[in-house]
A and B are shown apart, each in its own frame.
Chain A
Amino acid sequence: MSKSNRVLPGFRITMAFTLLYLGLIVIVPLTTLPVESITMGWTAFHRTLTDPRVVASYKLSLGASFVAAIVNGVFGVLVAWVLVRYPFPGRRVIDALIDLPFALPTAVAGITLTTLYAPNGWLGAPLARHGLKVSFTPLGVTVALIFIGLPFVVRTLQPVIEELDLQVEEAATSLGANRWHITTRIILPYLYPAWITGFALSFARAVGEYGSVVFISGNMPMRTEIAPLLIITKLLQYDYAGATTIAFGLLVISFVLLLAINGLQHWTGRRLAH
């Protein structure tokens, strides 16, 4: 056997462990999904996936998650920027607050948001007077998904903004660039790969979110019913094959989307890799 001359030894054993670990934790559980759903036969499989109620829940889950990720993408950049660039009293407290949606049991978030945005809630009442209903609408679903997704964007962007050299902005200024140029030609392209990662994480988390949404959504079939809830409903009806089929569909769509986002990031990030 030839001895390899790597500086860091143990490639074989760590790689083997990685594959085993990924296999046990991720791949094996996920492969049971198609296996389980196949038991119902192709026709039933196809019928379940094209059921209007299921299609509506996919649309809501993916649509609301996408919108929430976009909103977090915009405001997460602002929050991260302010937290990194400007020292102000209470910065550490606000910085710690960012992680709260991570730590809070999602059901707590759901109950809080529902109460807040209900037609008689603190925020819900004034909004209702202007004809805007939040709780028990797709808008409410989006609000909950924004809440739980924010930390992902902020936390991926913070270290990148910290690394952004002030002198680079000064260099651009001395070359005649105004603020618009510096923002669009220097800062945003620089943040882009990290932003995409934050966006993808926020989106992925939102697609799978259950706890915080079920309260605020009202769970009306065809209108405010998210895909994860539909899966739970099927499970409660002992329709395991139906549940796994819906889950499988969600899995495939999510995987394709994440793959696409990663591809986009890889494509743009190559130039920036340090």
Chain B
Amino acid sequence: MGIEVRHVSKTFGQFRSLDDVSFSVASGELVALLGPSGSGKTTLLRIIAGLEQADAGTVLLEDSDATHVNARDRGVGFVFQHYALFRHLTVFENVAFGLRVRPRGRRPTEAVIQEKVHKLLALVQLDYLGKRYPRQLSGGQRQRVALARALAVEPNVLLLDEPFGALDAKVRQELRRWLRRLHEDIRLTSVFVTHDQEEALELADRVVIMNQGRIEQQGSPEEVFERPATAFVMNFLGSVNIFHGRVEDGRAFLGPLAVDSPEHAGQPPQPATGYARPHELDLGRADTGGGLWARITDLNTTGAVVKVELTDDEGRLIQVQLGRDAYTELLPTAGERLYVTLKRVRVFLKDEKP
């Protein structure tokens, strides 16, 4: 096991940042810690790195207890959101830093350092910038230098704290794809923190979703997206339409909608909420039962999918995404009344707080 976190808790003053968190990362795996700000994901990452001490619990790196090991001896590479480069050193010297500060016995010779740093700079495609200073680089280049610097000490584990957070959208996309390829090449056990669900789902082998200091769900991107364990996960992983109502005898009655809800069959009647993603709704011109009528208030046809916004008679806002084919077939116009049906809905009981 690359990383194992067992029952870790951390409190800052009155604020419970982490509440009995356990999870593990297999060797060579790329895991995303995903959650809103304040969910404890960065604190967890910093505890793994040894930059923060847990109040309780243990951290194992490569199967040995690292809980009380100093950050500098943990063999962990850390990449910061705002790069944290040494601005008085050249790009080359930034990358060489970790090698130069090794104790005399383990310090490589100058020739080895030269070769190794050039290799790493080539890996991050920046070898031609070795003599520059950090301030002369763009954000994306700086983050790649930070990555090369972290890799120079041959860490067992790579930790990245919102690595693309400070970059603009296009660079972020490029760097994301590039990092994924790099990970496939070097297969280093890696954990990255993000609040961007798209980034987590696209990049990671496995996603750990955090909320208020606890882990809500972990699993492959497909698993968490297709089978969210809690209303929070459903809500956090993309936009949803919410229908309040109740469950009774294995059926959910969500306002005007009625759907089967077999997983709640044995439960007494109680309040519940239904969640459906915009692409899980369908539009039509005929009342086919189980749906509701709503008027189109906004229609955006510029994109791979057509985004339709409707308002029903009770003023509820409903978002629907249609594929281009479905759109051309129906050709809805703004202001038109259409019949909305659910292709799929997930029902969570009321006490499962989103």
Contact = CB atoms under 8 A, between A and B. Distances in A.
- Do the two chains belong together in a single complex? yes
B207 interface: no
B66 to A, nearest CB: 13
Interface string B50-79: 110000000000000000000111101110
Interface in B131-179: 133, 135, 146, 149-150, 152-153
A185 B152 CA distance: 18
A70 interface: no
Nearest to A178: B72
A185 B76 CA distance: 21
Given A175-B153, A178-B72, 12 more contacts: A167-B82, A168-B84, A171-B85, A171-B86, A172-B86, A173-B72, A175-B72, A175-B101, A185-B101, A271-B133, A273-B135, A274-B135
Interface residues of A, number: 21
A174 B82 contact: no
A162 interface: no
Given A170-B51, A181-B101, A175 B149 contact: yes
Nearest to A274: B135
Nearest to A273: B135
B236 to A, nearest CB: 27
Nearest to B50: A174
B78 A174 contact: yes
27 contacts: A167-B80, A167-B82, A167-B84, A168-B84, A171-B146, A172-B97, A173-B72, A174-B49, A174-B51, A174-B72, A174-B78, A174-B150, A175-B97, A175-B152, A175-B153, A176-B72, A176-B98, A176-B101, A176-B153, A177-B72, A177-B97, A178-B72, A185-B100, A185-B101, A190-B88, A273-B135, A274-B135
The 9 A-B pairs of least Cβ separation, nearest first, read: A175-B98, A167-B84, A171-B84, A174-B78, A177-B101, A181-B101, A176-B72, A189-B88, A173-B71
Interface in A170-227: 170-178, 181, 185-186, 189-190
B88 A271 contact: yes
A272 interface: yes
Interface in A231-274: 271-274
B84 A165 contact: yes
B285 interface: no
Contacts of A181: 101
Query: Which of A168, A172, A176 has the most C-beta atoms of chain B within 10 angstroms of its own C-beta?
Result: A176
A172 B102 CA distance: 12
Most buried by A among B49, B50, B84, B102: B84
Contacts, number: 71
Nearest to A268: B88
B87 interface: yes
Interface of B: 49-51, 71-74, 76-78, 80, 82, 84-88, 97-98, 100-102, 133, 135, 146, 149-150, 152-153
Given A167-B80, A272-B87, A174 B97 contact: no
Contacts of A173: 51, 71-72
A38 B84 CA distance: 58
A6 to B, nearest CB: 24
Contacts of A174: 49-51, 71-72, 74, 76-78, 150
Contacts of B82: 165, 167
Contacts of B85: 168, 171
A170 B84 contact: yes
Contacts of A274: 87, 135
Contacts of B152: 175
Contacts of B102: 176
B85 to A, nearest CB: 8
A85 to B, nearest CB: 17
A274 B98 CA distance: 24
A189 B90 CA distance: 13
Interface string A12-26: 000000000000000
Nearest to B155: A174
A171 B80 contact: yes
B67 to A, nearest CB: 16
Contacts of B80: 167, 170-171
B150 to A, nearest CB: 7
A186 B86 contact: yes
A178 B135 contact: no
B157 to A, nearest CB: 11
A165 B85 CA distance: 10
A70 B217 CA distance: 60
Contacts of B76: 174
Contacts of B71: 170, 173-174
